Structure 1
Amino acid sequence: MPVIFRHKGFKFFFYANEGNPREPMHVHIEKDNIEAKFWLFPNVHLAYNDGFNAKTLRELNELVEQRHKVITGAWHEFFGES
């Protein structure tokens, strides 16, 4: 489970083995045993939410948009994609 970065107690990560074939590019975010998942393409949008409130989800969506290049770069580096 590669951790991409942490921000205000939130852990941004992806799982090393998510399906065969692998799911499209996305990021998981976890804090206090609550998790959400955001798809990164064609635009950042929520895939699922396991308990964050609407305000937190808006903030997380904005942060994923701001750090989109960092997240996609970590994905490509880990999975050996160009």
Structure 2
Amino acid sequence: MHVDRENKSAKFWLDPDVSLAEHHGYSRQELRTIERIIRDHRKRLCNEWDAFCRGDTGTS
């Protein structure tokens, strides 16, 4: 999962567990906050990614 804001960027893996892959510009505190939000919503994020990969856009 990519999280970008202004000139900041971070990449997190969602599987097998949430982990930071790389980042540029975010502070440690910001990264902890982003990771917490991702952890809180991990199941939905994984489900949405799986649906995207299947081509399931939710529209008919």
What corresponds to 1:45 in structure 2?
19
Normalising to structure 2: TM-score of the pair? Answer: 0.84
Paired residue total? 55
Q: From the two aligned structures, give the one with the greater helix fraction.
A: 2
CA contact (8 A) 2:18 2:35 kept: yes
Structure 2 stretches lacking a partner, 5+ long: 56-60
Q: In 1, distance between residues paired with 2:51 and 2:29?
A: 31
TM-score of the aligned structures, taking structure 1 as reference length: 0.63
Q: Among residues 45, 48, 51, which one is paired with 1:71 in the alignment? A: 45
Across the aligned residues of Structure 1 and Structure 2, the Cα RMSD in angstroms comes to 1.3
Specify the alignment match of 2:9 in structure 1: 35
Please name the residue that 1:17 is paired with: none
Q: Which has the higher strand share?
A: 1
Identity of aligned residues (%): 31
